[in-house]
Every structure is written in structure tokens, then in C-alpha cells.
Chain A
Amino acid sequence: MKEKTIIRFSILIFWTFFWGLSVLDKIIPDVHNLWVGKDFFALFVKFFGSLGLKDPIFPTIALAFVSALEVVNFVFYLLSIVNFSKSKNDLAEKWFFRAVFSSITLFSLFSIADQVFGDRFQLLEHGLFWLILIASWVLYKYISDSDEKLLSLGFSKDVKIAVAIGTIITVVTSLSIMDFSKRTFTNVNSPVKGEEVVDGVYKFDFPFLADKLVWEKTINTFKKDHPNLNINYIYTGPSELNSKKKTHMLLYVFTEKK
């Protein structure tokens, strides 16, 4: 197989999935089993609300327009990859250009909107996607024009050694992952043990797996273990206190004797 074919196929696969899943995210607007996605409708409602356009018709029309452009993008990428898999390289390149051009147009529109709505982080995000799309086109073209080399890697002795080493490391890593999962999965459901750091003040280091259920269990267990204490106040430690990144969340419980 030619090296350029591998690279061009990788580019087409990435962007086809990217736009296909973006379209799917618009079709499935809410959180469902096996799909979380992003609530773009809520995002658009907030953006237009901040402009003073509180009627939901504005975000609805804007989202429908954006989705239509994304569908067009996806169809162009799909046609490009279909032609590419049929070895119709000229057609694939033509569709890929259309796809890239419509994608950068969409990201340009997003960037304009980010400026209007004052969202600088999204402006950076969309600017980077815009750049990567243009660069993808340049790389696609560059490889197609200049590189006809064949991938020359048979199943030689050193490849066999590499596969063996890779398999051994994968097995070791997998065993380690499963062992870690076995040791820490109980954190999903176990109360956190508190430590009295100041007279009447208890600190709880919540692990990364903990969620609201762990919080409830922790407080109920604490109350059960300390029947002589009243909880006055619960303080969630801000991220500045948690400088080591070893803990998911810090919680302080302020108590007094009954």
C-alpha cells in the first residue's frame, strides 16, 4: 500500500467521523443511554438571550441553519471517502476540497458569532479547528503531489520481535489496569473517611471516582459515627487549596458539640 494512501485515508476518516458525529449530536439533543453529547440548544438560547433576543425562535433557527451546514459538510466528506475507497482519487480530492471549504466557512461563521457573543475561549477553539482544516487540506495535497512511496515493512524478524514486545507490554499494562480498577472501584460507593484537622473541623479527601452519592453516604456516615456533634457548615475547598491534583475534591465539615 502507498504511504500517501494511508495518510489521506486517515485524514478523510477523521473528518468524516468528526462531522458525522456533530450531525448526530444535533439529532440527539438530550442525554440518553450510550449518548451524552452537548446541549447546543441550551448554549444557543443562552447566547441569544445575552443579546436580548429571548424568543426561542432565534436560537432554533440559528441551530437549524448550523445543523444544515454540518450536514452538507458531512455529505461532502462522505462522498470524498466513498470515491477514495473506489480509487477515484480525482473525484475524492474534489469532494474533499468542497468539504474543507464548507467546513472552514462554518468555522468562520462560528468565529464571527464568538466575537459577537464575547466568548474568547470558543473563538480560540474554532480558530484552531479552522487552522487544522486548512492544514489538513495542505497536507492532503502535498502528500498526493509529492509522495508515491510504498510502505515497505514485511513480517521480518525485527517486526516479529516488536509485535512480541508490544504484546507483552500490553498484557502487563492490562493486568495493571484491571488490578487498579479492582482496588479503586469501591470508591464509587464507599463513604470517605474524615480527618479532624482543627478542633471541630474535619477534612474529607474525595477520590476521583466519587460523585454525589458518595457525598451523601459520607455525610450520613459521619453523622452516625459522631452522634455527639452537630454539623454547622460544610465548605467545599476551592481548586486553589487542592494544589497537588492528587485529590478530586476537598470538603471541610465544621461541627460543634451538641
Chain B
Amino acid sequence: MMTIFNGKNKISTNQLIRYSILVYWSLFWLLNIVDKIIGGSLFLWVGRDRFAQFQRFFASAGLESPLIADFALVIAAGLEVFAFVFFTGSLIHFFKKSVESSRSWFLIGICFTLITFTIFSIGDHVFGDRFELLEHTLFWFLALFSWVVFIRLDRSQATEELKISKRQFMGASIVAVMLVMATSVSIFNYNDNFFFRRTEPVVAEKVGENIYKVSFPFLGGSTVFEKTIEKFKNENPDKKIDHIYTVPNELRLKKADALIFYIVTEDKE
């Protein structure tokens, strides 16, 4: 049996991968359920407003009553809950070395997952959302693939060992520690020197008669925008903002440019 270390730890790599599959799907559905219970955004949780999404989908098909979105969401939540319960049950059985039970529970979890994503895909066709169709088809496939990997690893009897020598282990640790230190220093340094970009106003550069360019830093958000406008108004009391033109993505230099906008003004009478 293939093992990670030759010492006391006798867990096989096959078992580790199977644990990973069970933990992944259990957490996947648990967090989906938590997202539905919370609903909107809270401190430490943004999530996705599924009610708004469902409501907009059904409204686009002429079904504007919130009861329909509620009903669809409850059905989806029910499927997700049972997928979570069976994956977690499978994980518990696997932990207790009850491999056959774990396999049966996992299959039921997979069935709930496949049903959920099949229904979602049908919805994507009806509501014409091709991106979500691709997303749900990929998840459907991942569930199917997880099942095959899970049962394949059940039968697989690998013989090679994954022994790591002490010298290699030490070498890898030293390189890793050095890289972690270099990365951490760089990140903390960047935070110290550039976090002000998250809050400080940006200077508007005059590029033509009554036209000013504002090039946002990547960290800029609505606070920077508001402070920039305030600063511009204070520095140009004789100018009136006529309109703001946001440079579309097509005119930006790929990822090198963040948000760019022009303030078009006119002289105050």
C-alpha cells in the first residue's frame, strides 16, 4: 500500500484522496446551505443573493410573484441539504472504516448532486443563461468524475512508496521558508507603502480644454471616487462638472490599466 511516510502514519494516498473528495463535497454543500440561510450580506459573509437571482430569472419569464422564486429556492435548498447530509454521512462512515456503507452514502450524495445540477441546467436553458449552463455542466461532470475516482481508488492497489528522505525534507523546508519570508516581506511592504491608494483621492490631470483625466489605482473603490470628485470640486471652484466619461475596457491597455475616467467640465457663469 502506498504511504505518505514510512513511519507511524499508515494512511494511504488513496485514502487521503478519498477523504479529500468527501470533505470537498460536504463543505461545498454545507456552505451553499449557509449561504441560503443567511440570504444577504453580513459582516464576514458576502455570499450571493440567491433570492434576488431566482426572482429576476422568474420575472424575466413573466412569473413575478415572489412565491414562485421562494418555492424554487426551497426545492433547491432541500436537494442541497440532503446532498450535504449524505456526503457527511459518507465521511463519517469512511472515518469509522466502514467502507461499504461510506460508498453507498456517497452514491446517494452524488445522486442528489447530479439531480440538482441537472435541474439547474434545465433552468439555464429556459432562462437563456449560457454562462451558468457551462458552470452547472462542469459541476455536474465534477460530481460524476468524483464518483468514478472514488470507486476506482477503492479497488486500486498501488505498491510504490512515497518515502521522503530527511535530506530532501530539510532542503525543501529551507527553500520553502526562504520563499515564504521573501513573499511575506514583499506583501507587508506593499501594504505599508501603498494601502493609502484604497482611501486617498486621485489627482485629476488636465488633458484638454475642460477635460481632466483620472487614472484609478487598482485598489481604488467608491470611497476613492467620491474623495476624488470632492477634491476636484474644491480645487476647481470655477468649474462645473458637465459629465463623466468612463473609458471602456476596449480602450484600456489590457490588465495594465485600471479604471480610467474623464471629467468633462464647463466654466461656471
List the interface of chain A (C-beta within 8 A of B): 3, 6-7, 10-11, 13-14, 17-18, 21-22, 24-25, 31-39, 125, 128-129, 132, 135-136, 139, 142-143, 147, 149, 151-153, 158, 162-163, 165-166, 169-170, 172-174, 176-181, 184-185, 187-188, 197-201, 203, 207-209, 211, 232-233, 235, 237-238, 240-246, 248, 250, 254, 256
CB 8 Å contact bits of B223-266 with A (1 = contact, 0 = none): 00110011001000000111110100000000000110100000
Tell whether, in the assembled complex, residue A198 and residue B226 are in contact, meaning their CB atoms are under 8 Å apart: yes
Q: Is the CB of A139 within 8 A of B144?
A: yes
Beta-carbon contact of B66 and A208 below 8 Å = no
Q: B36 and A169: CB pair below 8 A?
A: no
Choice from A14, A37, A128, A142 contacting B126 with Cβ under 8 Å:
A37
Q: Do A233 and B244 have beta carbons less than 8 Å apart? A: yes
In the bound assembly, the distance between CA atoms of A162 and B85 in angstroms comes to 6
Q: What is the distance, in angstroms, from B246's C-beta to the closest C-beta of chain A? A: 5
Is there a chain A Cβ closer than 8 Å to B2's Cβ? no
Q: Within the complex, which residue of A153, A169, A242 is in contact with B33, where a contact is CB–CB below 8 Å?
A: A169
Contact A11 B107 (CB under 8 A): no
Asked, given contacts A128-B134, A188-B55, whether A7 binds B144 with beta carbons under 8 Å apart, the answer is: yes
- Say whether B22 faces chain A, with CB atoms less than 8 Å apart: no
- B230 contacts A129, CB within 8 Å? no
Asked if B62 contacts A240 (CB within 8 A), the reply is: no
A111 to B38 Cα, complex, angstroms: 41
Chain B residues with CB below 8 A from A151, complex form: 104, 107
Question: A139 is contacted by which of B73, B148, B222 (Cβ under 8 Å)?
Answer: B148
Q: Which residue of B lies closest to A43 (CB)?
A: B130
User: Could you tell me if A199 and B121 are in contact, using CB atoms closer than 8 angstroms?
Assistant: no
- Taking Cβ atoms with an 8 Å cutoff, the residues of B that contact A are 33, 36-41, 46, 49, 51-53, 55-57, 60-63, 66, 69-70, 73-74, 77-78, 81-82, 84-86, 89, 100-101, 103-105, 107-108, 110-111, 114-115, 117-118, 121-122, 125-128, 130, 134, 137-138, 140-141, 144-145, 147-148, 151, 216, 220-222, 225-226, 229-230, 233, 240-244, 246, 258-259, 261
Cross-interface CB contact of A143 among B63, B84, B148, cutoff 8 Å: B148
26 contacts between A and B (CB under 8 A): A3-B107, A10-B115, A24-B125, A34-B126, A35-B126, A128-B137, A129-B137, A147-B151, A166-B78, A166-B82, A166-B85, A169-B85, A173-B74, A177-B74, A181-B51, A184-B51, A185-B55, A188-B55, A199-B230, A201-B229, A209-B51, A209-B56, A237-B225, A241-B221, A250-B222, A256-B240
Q: A10-B118, A233-B243 are in contact. Are A177 and B104 (CB under 8 A)?
A: no
- Cβ of A150 to closest chain B Cβ, rounded Å: 9
Expressed in whole angstroms, the Cα–Cα distance for A166 and B81 within the complex equals 6
Q: How far is the CB of B155 from chain A (nearest CB, A)?
A: 8
Which chain A residues border B66 with CB–CB below 8 Å?
A: 181, 185
A108 to B117, CA, bound (A): 25
Bound: A199/B234 CA distance, A = 10
- Please determine whether B70 and A181 come into contact, CB atoms closer than 8 angstroms: yes
> How many A-B contacts are there with CB distance less than 8 Å?
211
Nearest Cβ on chain B to A189's Cβ, whole angstroms? 10
Of the candidates A32, A184, A242, A250, the one having the most CB atoms from chain B within 10 angstroms of its own CB is: A184
Inter-chain CA distance A10–B111, complex, in Å, is: 8
A-B CB proximity, top 9 nearest: A180-B39, A208-B52, A21-B125, A33-B62, A240-B259, A153-B104, A38-B128, A166-B85, A198-B230
**Cβ-neighbour of B222 out of A17, A18, A232, A241 (below 8 A):** A241
Question: How far is B222's CA from A179's CA once the two chains are assembled, in angstroms?
Answer: 31
Contact: B222 with A170, CB < 8 Å?
no
Contact indicator B121/A17 (Cβ below 8 Å): yes
A10, A147, A254: residue with the most chain B Cβ atoms closer than 10 Å: A10
Q: Are B77 and A174 in contact (CB under 8 A)?
A: yes
List chain A residues, Cβ under 8 A from B140: 14
Extra contacts, 20 of them, besides A128-B137, A208-B53, A254-B241 (Cβ < 8 A), are A6-B111, A7-B110, A7-B147, A14-B117, A34-B63, A35-B126, A132-B141, A139-B144, A139-B148, A143-B148, A166-B81, A172-B37, A178-B70, A181-B66, A198-B226, A208-B52, A235-B243, A237-B222, A238-B259, A238-B261
